[in-house]
Amino acid sequence: MRVLLVEDDVEVADALTEGLQQYGWTVDHVSTGAAALRRHECGDIVLLDLNLPDMDGLEVCRGLRAMCAVPIIAVTARSDEMDKVLGLRLGADDYIVKPYRLQELLARMAAVMRRTGTPPAPAEPVNPVLTRGRLTIDPAQRTVSLDGRPIILTRKEFELLVLLAGTPGRVFLREQLLDAVWDQQWAGSSRTLDTHVAALRRKLGSTKWIKTTRGVGFSFQPQPAP
């Protein structure tokens, strides 16, 4: 299944792309309305930010609807009722206001695809086995092994490791990790993240697996055999 993502915020687009890919989506990302309207096809669904740098998103919505019949969901920080009404009248099939949870977006995508007769999207994450140096992670079975030896992790330790190891070398902000693993409603101390990172390092037998970028966050560093 293919989604056309029209979003000018690179960090938002990267995070959303990563989340959608976990559910089997192929994401085509463009950052301007003009680029979206130059597309020859729209995939299976369009996620359209209304606050674009070059054009009003409502006009982009109108243009995309004239080009293709696939579902369009307006994804935006605009919460004004009139914007919602105009978006729906100009061709959007649904409207979701930022900030939102990935699960809510996925549910809305599935709902509009059902209403429009589009083949259903994947309901569960597509989780290939991750091989990272000496470490093997199976998200589907929720198992981890180091040099073939099982490593027992708590649920949150496992989720944190999968997120970090999914993109080796990428520095995740502390806030991103807390939002993703403990959800965006987390109101506790960020020290819980440090505690879980310390536990992972201890269980993996080395601090080198997870690198700290001081004042920023953490990244996963695969370790070769000694």
Residue 153, classed as helix, strand or coil, is: coil
Q: How many CB atoms lie within 10 A of CB 108?
A: 19
pLDDT, tens digit (0-9, with 9 covering 90-100), for 4-13: 999 998 888 8
- DSSP character string of 59-73: HHHHHHHHH--S-EE
pLDDT, tens digit (0-9, with 9 covering 90-100), for 131-179: 998 999 988 788 999 999 999 999 899 989 988 998 899 898 888 888 7
Residue 15, classed as helix, strand or coil, is: helix
- Which residues fall within 8 angstroms of residue 184, CB to CB, at 6 or more apart? 99, 101
pLDDT, tens digit (0-9, with 9 covering 90-100), for 57-106: 889 998 999 888 889 999 888 667 776 777 788 888 998 988 888 888 98
Residues 22, 167: Cα–Cα separation, whole Å: 12
* Selection from 91, 105, 96, 80 nearest residue 19 by Cα: 105
Residue 140: exposure state from Cβ atoms within 10 A (0-12, 13-18, ≥19): exposed
Which domains, and CATH codes, for the chain? 2-115 (3.40.50.2300), 130-220 (1.10.10.10)
Residues 17, 8: Cα–Cα separation, whole Å: 13
Work out whether strand 172-173 and strand 217-220 pair parallel, antiparallel, or are unpaired.
antiparallel
Cis amide linkage into residue 99, ω under 30° from 0: yes
Q: What is the pTM of this model?
A: 0.57
DSSP β-bridge partners for residue 76: 97
